[in-house]
Structure 1
Amino acid sequence: MSNNSHELLRTGGAIELKIENKVAWITLNRPEVFNSFNRDMALSLQSVLDNCNEDSTVRAIVLTGNGKAFCAGQDLKEVTDPELNPGFRKILEEHYNPIIQRIRTIEKPIVAAVNGVAAGAGANIALACDIVIASEHASFIQAFSKIGLVPDSAGTFFLPRLIGFQKASALMMLGDKVSALEALTMGMIYKLFPVATFEEEVKTIAENLAQMPTKALGLTKRLLNQSMTNTLEQQLALESDLQIEASSSYDYNEGVTAFIEKRKPEFKGN
């Protein structure tokens, strides 16, 4: 990848990628079907996430959608076409599960900028991100029960932890549409912005993340991941280990020095 901070790197396909000011903007780009996933789009997203992970110039990632929707989940035309249908096991094990695993294991902050409807797997991919920001036109739907399926893409893992077991159970069984304001109120998302300022607000947050000590943010992400299954004792031990690792970084030294010198730190992300 180029180090040019204003270069559009990939356009025209199911996934678009732009790197700007150390932020990778990943856009789901099938607006004619509300950015629903087919195999090409799922595999392309995995590839782009891998590239962003490997590119040291990328220090924050934004995932958003083109057009009116963020992502409507699985493209049902693919699963009902006798020739194209890869089968649900392949869809989950080769499409969605690897996407969720990448979102959680890439040690860079990933922001979901939910610009419109996020349904089914689309909603759960958003909720797996580190920070979820929604436009006032956004909505979230656990749509699986509407067609006789169960939630996937780690929805049953993250949603109960975000909003509580009882409310998650109700949303998954009833398939209620949750507005952006309702999602904010119940703690499903971080912030809500008007449509007119949404893109600029997301940009501000993402560029702020990209200027922060990326290594420390990545270690924080690792701690949060492990907190899902660790005992208190295990978590305390891991905090100690990772704090020692963080304290040996360039950014820690820069942060402390800047504090003493009463100036703004210039973090490098390592």
Structure 2
Amino acid sequence: MGFVDYQADSGLGIITLADSRNGNRLNRESLTELSQAFNKAIMHDEIRSILLRSNGKNFSLGMDLNFLQSVRGDKSTSVEAVSLYTDLLLKIFESPKPVIALIYGDVKAGGTGLVAACDIVIASDDTTFELSEILLGLIPANVLPFLFSLRIPPQKARYLIMTAKRLTAEEARALNMIDEVYPLAELEKGTKAVIKSLFRAAPFAVAATKDFTRKLLSTTIDEACNLARDTLLELITRDDVSDGIQAFNEGSTPAWFAKCKLSTPLVRIDEDTKE
């Protein structure tokens, strides 16, 4: 892989946007490599959680405009290009394993979609967001299902899109686009604390949580109650749930409790990408 790096470290699948010299802009190659990296992490049984990060001072400046220009003349090629991005966001969102976005610097346009599709967003206090597609005569249509369905109300999304407003990290957190904000010096520690919590959660319960909340997006209250009943009944009958309850009653730890002893730092800003 040239645009994206993947490594497994102590049960954590780490996916790195590695084209920071070009702003980690998204094109056919990087989208394909991102999809392949997520496939590896999802299919690898030893991976408990997935971390998406960048290797430079910015997370992603969005779509590569040259890539967009190159596909606009042919409908089938355009469909392929749009589908590459949309399918990737759906893959991130539907991953049975929790996906953390670790971000710093600028997150623009299509980069916002990558972040919005993740389950947990942890950012440095210098992070900024900007949905700038409208300046090019476009709209972030494939970002919106993951942004306002999951993070912010539709009317607020309209405001951000029509004005192309640049948000600070604190403004983004106030809008629920970010879950936790840290100074850059504390970002590593804060991220590891979240990972520690995830490694104490039962993997099958995490997957059930993601599946259950996804289904809630398109259900009535009656359907949601029936779904809740069926989901709980299915979980209660599992032997490993019984073992987990017994472990807590006995003061021990369930079998799924694990430690993530990372061999490399999570916050990665390569020296040759700094200004």
TM-score clears 0.5: yes
Task: Report the CA distance between 1:202 and its aligned residue.
Answer: 1.3
- Flag structure 2 segments of 5+ consecutive residues without an equivalent: 259-275
Task: Report the CA distance between 1:161 and its aligned residue.
Answer: 4.5
Q: What fraction of aligned residue pairs are identical, expressed as a percent?
A: 26
Task: Report the CA distance between 1:200 and its aligned residue.
Answer: 2.8
Aligned partners of 1:27 and 1:63 also within 8 Å: yes
1:234 paired to 2:223: yes
Alignment partner, residue 211 of structure 2: 222
- Listed as ranges, the matches of 1:94-109 within 5 Å are 95-109=84-98
Quick one: structure 1 residues 37 and 256, their matched pair in 2 at CA, closer, same or farther if it must change by over 3 Å? same
Matched AA of 1:69: N
Task: Report the CA distance between 1:113 and its aligned residue.
Answer: 1.0
* 1:123-168 Cα shifts (integer Å, max 9, x gaps): 0120111111111111111111111101133324532542222211
Task: Pick one of 125, 128, 135 that aligns with 1:146.
Answer: 135
TM (normalized to structure 1)? 0.88
Aligned partners of 1:72 and 1:120 also within 8 Å: yes
TM (normalized to structure 2)? 0.86
Alignment partner, residue 200 of structure 1: 189
1:255 paired to 2:248: no
1:36 paired to 2:17: no
Aligned partners of 1:109 and 1:217 also within 8 Å: yes
Quick one: structure 1 residues 18 and 77, their matched pair in 2 at CA, closer, same or farther if it must change by over 3 Å? same
* CA–CA distance in structure 2, aligned partners of residues 139 and 224 of structure 1: 28
SS of 1:163's partner is coil
* CA–CA distance in structure 1, aligned partners of residues 123 and 153 of structure 2: 20
Alignment partner, residue 210 of structure 1: 199
1:89 paired to 2:79: yes
* CA–CA distance in structure 1, aligned partners of residues 7 and 248 of structure 2: 33
Aligned partners of 2:49 and 2:97 also within 8 Å: yes
Quick one: structure 1 residues 156 and 169, their matched pair in 2 at CA, closer, same or farther if it must change by over 3 Å? farther
Aligned partners of 2:107 and 2:128 also within 8 Å: yes
Task: Single out whichever of 234-243 and 177-186 deviates more from structure 2.
Answer: 234-243
Task: Single out whichever of 203-212 and 145-154 deviates more from structure 2.
Answer: 203-212
- Flag structure 1 segments of 5+ consecutive residues without an equivalent: 1-11
Alignment partner, residue 125 of structure 2: 136
Aligned partners of 2:72 and 2:78 also within 8 Å: no
Alignment partner, residue 17 of structure 1: 6
RCO greater where, 1 or 2, for CA within 8 Å and sep 6 or more?
Answer: 2
Task: Single out whichever of 156-165 and 95-104 deviates more from structure 2.
Answer: 156-165
Number of equivalenced pairs: 257
Quick one: structure 1 residues 118 and 250, their matched pair in 2 at CA, closer, same or farther if it must change by over 3 Å? farther
1:75 paired to 2:64: yes
Task: Report the CA distance between 1:206 and its aligned residue.
Answer: 2.0
Alignment partner, residue 244 of structure 1: 233
Aligned Cα root-mean-square deviation (Å): 2.2
Quick one: structure 1 residues 250 and 100, their matched pair in 2 at CA, closer, same or farther if it must change by over 3 Å? farther
* CA–CA distance in structure 1, aligned partners of residues 229 and 119 of structure 2: 22
